[in-house]
Amino acid sequence: MTDGALVDLVGITKQFGGVRALKGVDLSVRSGEVVALVGHNGAGKSVLVQILSGVFPPSSGEIRVGGKPVAFTSPSDARLYAIETIYQTLALADNLDAPANFFLGRELRTRFGFLDKKKMAEEAKKALADLNPNFTDIERPVRQMSGGQRQAIAIARAIHFQVQLLIMDEPTAALGPHETAQVAELIKRLRAQGIGILLISHDVRDVLRLADRIVVLKNGEVVGALTARDTNEDEVVDMIIRGRKLDADGAVK
């Protein structure tokens, strides 16, 4: 728990049947702060992401937004608190075009109550061109689009609607070096705008470069929190693997 935090997770647990995926996780993100969440597959990262995005509720524990306890019954609840998520899977409906995906769940309507397709197309086009000026052919099913274009849609819709906390689940996993650099630039830009970012990534080097703090998750528990400035790749990797910090002489603390 931190004073002035955008979002606090306090004592979050999650059980699936007999499996304890999270065993009491505390985590907070402040405005303009990039917190990286790292850990092995199965450490509980994506369960935590889904709890914070409202996909499912925690078994116990509390989510606080601006210090006040909240309960999310659906992803739209999380969106109401300006928490947006870019999922690793992108969560796009492949049969719909870019504007439809962009505005999915918060469609613009004309005053007669019908879909305002023209306005949605214009706004989506503008938002997507901001990310990638070459991305203009947006009105076709997204299944026909490239990985980078699909990623752009997922990112654009997450940052378009007054986001305060942006959760990015492996945002660069499917991207080439050029696009990865673009995402890094974007993270810096959003951070400068005061947006809090929870970054989930496998790439320790990326994390060290982009994050302010690094939180290491192992077997459903936070095993360490590091300040990105004061640590290095070896230390982070070691913590991911062993779940402990090493002493200077190499002994486990």
Q: Give the residues lining the site for another protein (CB under 8 A).
A: 53, 55, 74-76, 79, 85, 87, 89-97, 100-101, 104-107, 109, 113-115, 117, 121, 137, 139-140, 143-144
226, 46 contact by CB (below 8 A)? no
Nearer to another protein, 114 or 229 (CB): 114
Phi, psi of 190 (to 5 degrees): -65, -40
Nearer to another protein, 1 or 71 (CB): 71
What is the nearest approach in angstroms of another protein to the Cβ of residue 237?
31
What is the nearest approach in angstroms of another protein to the Cβ of residue 94?
5
What is the nearest approach in angstroms of another protein to the Cβ of residue 108?
10
- DSSP lists the bridge partners of residue 34 as 197
Nearer to another protein, 40 or 119 (CB): 119
Nearer to another protein, 3 or 112 (CB): 112
Nearer to another protein, 116 or 221 (CB): 116
118-152 burial, b for 16+ CB within 10 Å, e for fewer?
eebbebbbebbeebbeebeebeeebeebeebbbbb
Measure the CA–CA gap between 22 and 46, rounded to whole angstroms. Answer: 10
What is the nearest approach in angstroms of another protein to the Cβ of residue 138?
8
What is the nearest approach in angstroms of another protein to the Cβ of residue 17?
16
Q: Mark out the alpha helices in the chain (DSSP H runs).
A: 45-52, 75-80, 98-102, 117-131, 147-160, 177-192, 204-210, 233-242
